Amino acid sequence: MKNLMNVLLGGKEGAIGLMILAIIILLLMPMFLDVFRLNLMGKYLTFAFVAVGLVLCWGHGGILSLGQGIFFGIGGYCMAMFLKLEASDMQSTAAQTTPGIPDFMDWNQVTSLPMLWEPFHSFSFTLFAIIIIPILLAFIIGFAMFTRRVGDVYFSIIMQAIVAILTILIIGQQGFTGGINGITDLKTLHGWDIRTDEAKYVLYYINALLLLAVIMISRFVLSSKLGRLLSAMRDKEERVRFSGYDVAMYKVFIFCFAAVVSSIGGAMFTLQVGFMSPTIIGIVPSIEMVILAAVGGRLSLIGAVYGAVLVNLGKTYFSEAFPELWLFLLGGLFIFVVMFLPDGLAGVYQKYVRPLFIKNKTVNGTTPPPTIDSDENKEPVMKGGVK
C-alpha cells in the first residue's frame, strides 16, 4: 500500500508538486475568486484533462494527436444530450409543434426524437457512453494507423482531417445536433439547477478532484512497465519492436487512455459552461489543446495543468484586447515555446528554479530532491538488457 501511494503521488517531490496544485485549485481559487471567475477557472481546468492526456500520448508515447478535440467533444455532447432531454420534458416544451423533443429539433421540423438520442434519457448510459465511445473510436483509429506504421506527421494530418469531417457533419445535421449553435440552454441535472452559484461551486470541486485523480492514475501508468516502454518507443521505436514488443498495441492503449481522459474533460465542460458546440472541438481548438501541453511541458503532468490555465487566461485576454490578432499571438506563443522552451514551464523549473533548492539543501548537508516526474523519465530497460 505504501509503495502504491508513493507511485500515485510521484515520490516525495511529486507529492509536494501535487499538494501545491491541490492547495491552489481546491483552497486558494475558491477562497479568492468570485463565482463567475471560479466558473471560468473550472472551464480552463476541463482543458487540462486534454493536456494531461497529451502528456501521456505525445510527451511519453511520441504520438502527436492534433485531433483530441474529437474526444473532448464526444464527452461534451454525450452530457449535453442527457441534459437537453431533461430540459425538454412535455411541460417545458408544451408550446412547441412537437412537445417532448429539444427545441432546435422542433425549429428544424423534426417530428420525433431520433433513435440516437433515446438512450440518453438514462444518466447511467450517458456516463457509460462518455467512457466507452471515445475508447471505441480511438481504438478504431489507432489500430488502423499504428498497425500500418503510419508516420507521425501523417497521423497528425489524418487526425486533423477526421476533426474536420466530424465538425462538418455536426454542423450539417442541424436538426439532430443543433448545428453551429450546438446544444444550449442546459438547466438541470436530475432536477438540480446547475446554473445556481451553489451548483457552480460543487461542479468546480468535482472537476478539480477528478483532475487530481486523473493525474495520480496517469502517474501510476507512467511508473509501470508500460510507461517505460512508451518512453522507449518514443525514442527508439524500432529497437523496442525488435525486442519482441507489440508496439502498435501499446500505442493503441495509451491513445485510448488519452481519449477517455479528454472525454471526461468535455463532459465537465458541458456541466460547468452549460452548452456544447462544434466551435469548441474544431481544427483550431484541437491545435490549441496541443499548445496547452507544450507550454506546460509535454513530459510533466502537473505542468500540463498550469499550461492549460495560463494559455486559456492569455487567450481570454488577447481575444478581448486584440480580437483580430489573438490567433496570430497564440501561434507565435507556440512557435516561441517550441524553439526556446522545448520542455515548457516544467523545463524552466528544472533549469532555473530547482537548482536553487538543490544548492540550499547541499549547503545544509542534505540529499538533493529527485527531479520532477523522475519516475516517468527514467531510461527504460528492455528485454535482454537492451537500453
Angstrom distance (rounded) from CA 84 to CA 386: 55
Which CA distances in Å does 222 have to 46, 54, 100, 189, 230? Answer: 22, 13, 47, 35, 8
**327-350 residue pLDDT tens:** 788 778 778 877 888 788 877 777
- Predicted local confidence at residue 45, as pLDDT: 97
What's residue 371's pLDDT? 47
Distance in angstroms (rounded) separating the CA atoms of residues 182 and 196: 22
- Say if residues 203 and 271 touch (Cβ distance below 8 Å): yes
- What is the enclosing helix (H) or strand (E) of 188? strand 188-189
Better pLDDT: 52 or 320: 52
The number of beta carbons lying within 10 Å of the beta carbon of residue 236 is 16
pLDDT(163) > 70: yes
At residue 194, what are phi and psi to the nearest 5 degrees?
A: -85, 0
Beta carbons within 8 Å of 315's beta carbon, 6+ residues apart: 288, 326, 330
**Assigned domain for 387 exists:** no
CB of 32 within 8 A of CB of 25? no
pLDDT at 350: 75
For 183-242, the pLDDT digits (tens) are: 999 999 998 999 999 999 999 999 999 999 999 999 999 988 888 888 888 888 888 888
Q: What is the pLDDT of residues 30-83, one digit of tens each?
A: 999 999 999 999 999 999 999 999 999 999 988 999 999 999 999 999 999 999
Domain count across the chain: 1
Alpha carbons 248 and 133: distance in angstroms, whole number? 20
Closest CA to 209 of 1, 22, 12, 9: 22
Helix (H) or strand (E) holding 73: helix 68-87
Residue 263 included in any domain: yes
C-alpha cell at position 228: 517505460
Domain that holds residue 292: 2-382
Rounded distance between C-alpha atoms, residue 122 and residue 256, angstroms: 24
The owner of cell 516517468 is 376
Closest CA to 161 of 240, 67, 243, 85: 67
Between 92 and 159, whose confidence is greater?
A: 159
**Residue 13 maps to a domain:** yes
**Is 363 domain-assigned?**
yes
CA atoms within 13 A on the CB side of 246: 6
Find cell 496541443 and name the residue. Answer: 290
How far apart, in whole angstroms, are the C-alpha atoms of residue 5 and residue 179?
46
